[in-house]
Amino acid sequence: MAVLITGGAGYIGSHMVFELLDRGEEIAVIDNLSTGVWWVLPPEANLVEGDVGDDSLLDKVMTSRTFDAVIHFAGSIVVPDSVADPLGYYLNNTVKSRTLMAAAVRNGIPNFIFSSTAAVYGEPKTMPVTEEAAAQPVSPYGTSKLMTEWMLRDSAKAHGLRYAALRYFNVAGADERGRTGQSTPRATHLIKVACQTLLGQRRQMEIFGRDYDTPDGTCIRDYIHVSDLIGAHFDALQYLRQGGESGVFNCGYGRGYSVLQVIKAVEKAGAKKLAVIDAPRRAGDPPVIVAEAERARSVLGWRPTRDNLDEIVSSALRWEEKLLRHNAKG
Ligand code: UDP
């Protein structure tokens, strides 16, 4: 049985590719390479360049071997872009997910794992946030993912599709063996931006708001190592294969770090001070988001092993250095 990975040339998807290949699974990847990078993938990834919104391509790929699961990473992820272009985000994240889901049902693929996000919660009232908290997204990005969760829920009831929607908190870090990492040039995420600043690819970086109601005034997030996140996907895959009940699962560690703590960790990893300036709050940034991730542990059997900010940051930095060398070679 093979696993179809959409967005497998992207940051998180490419880590899934290596995890499944390391475990001896057969896979195929669909990626339109809009932000993904083909050169990180080995030939065994069976990359098909194309779009998850392309019905006939999906049928062709899905009948090319026997799949028992789809892991759906492909999508757009920049929150401010989703505010500027909501219809673009609903097309890419919601409409195309519907096309993919319909193709999975049509082709008899029983298991579906979906990259969802903590952004479905919006600005939760209580912390840590449980899966039971009201889903009230404050960005089209969050809404586009929540609508996909709803389509999965309803398709599970109607068509027997089994699914796990994993709600990611702040994913960071890179493959320990240096095979892949966050490669998108326009990435806006804090740890990536800080590593790029450390390596001189940016003159300076900004802290978006120092007047939040938090101990040091900067926002707090639950940073999770990408390899632990991938572990949750693998556990979800086994769980669904064994007939586990569909559901949504938070993926975070249940503890938070502030922007200043992250910057300090990057300075420590690079033994160098960062050029940092203060900037206004970024629209839509909640002060604190931390996961309650007991459900993933108890139901999926998830056992994260890399809850260590220094480890997360140093793996991100090693990948950023590798990327710099790769890009310098042209
Ligand atoms: N942040 C920052 N400077 C940056 C990028 C991010 O101060 O250059 C802050 C951002 O305001 C938020 C936190 O870092 O409070 C994490 O932001 P990121 O974009 O990494 O993830 P998000 O939590 O928005 O998904």
What tens digit of pLDDT does each residue of 40-92 get? 999 999 999 999 999 999 999 999 999 999 999 999 998 889 999 999 999 99
pLDDT score of 125 more than 90: no
Q: Is 219 in the pocket of ligand 1 (CB under 6 A)?
A: yes
pLDDT score of 283 more than 90: no
Query: Which residue from 120, 259, 289 has its CB within 8 A of the most atoms of ligand 1, so it is best to mutate?
Result: 259
The one catalytic residue in 11, 141, 163, 223 is: 141
pLDDT score of 37 more than 80: yes
* Ligand 1, atom 6, residue with closest C-alpha: 190
Atom of ligand 1 nearest to the CA of 192: 20
CA of 191 to the centre of ligand 1 (A): 8
In this prediction, residue 185 carries a pLDDT of 78
Query: Which residue from 78, 208, 220 has its CB within 8 A of the most atoms of ligand 1, so it is best to mutate?
Result: 208
Compute the average pLDDT of residues 100-107: 98
Atom of ligand 1 nearest to the CA of 262: 14
pLDDT score of 284 more than 90: no
In this prediction, residue 328 carries a pLDDT of 85
What domains can you pick out in the chain, each with its CATH number? 2-171+224-251 (3.40.50.720), 190-221+254-328 (3.90.25.10)
pLDDT score of 132 more than 80: yes
CA of 189 to the centre of ligand 1 (A): 6
Of the chain, the percentage scoring pLDDT greater than 70 comes to 100
In this prediction, residue 275 carries a pLDDT of 97
CA of 300 to the centre of ligand 1 (A): 29
Instruction: State the pTM of this model.
Output: 0.97
User: What's the per-residue H, E or C state across the chain?
Assistant: CEEEEECCCCHHHHHHHHHHHHCCCEEEEEECCCCCCHHHCCHHHCEEECCCCCHHHHHHHHCCCCEEEEEECCCCCCHHHHHHCHHHHHHHHHHHHHHHHHHHHHCCCCEEEEEEEHHHHCCCCCCCECCCCCCCCCCHHHHHHHHHHHHHHHHHHHHCCEEEEEEECEEECCCCCCCCCCCCCCCCCHHHHHHHHHCCCCCCEEEECCCCCCCCCCCEECEEEHHHHHHHHHHHHHHHHCCCCCEEEEECCCCCEEHHHHHHHHHHHHCCCCCEEEECCCCCCCCEECECCHHHHHHHCCCCCCCCHHHHHHHHHHHHHHHHHHHHHC
What rounded mean pLDDT belongs to the chain? Answer: 96
pLDDT score of 17 more than 90: yes
In this prediction, residue 184 carries a pLDDT of 84
In this prediction, residue 105 carries a pLDDT of 98
In this prediction, residue 205 carries a pLDDT of 98
CA of 190 to the centre of ligand 1 (A): 5
Q: Is 141 considered catalytic here?
A: yes
The predicted-structure confidence for 211-249, as pLDDT tens digits, reads as follows 999 999 999 999 999 999 999 999 999 999 999 999 999
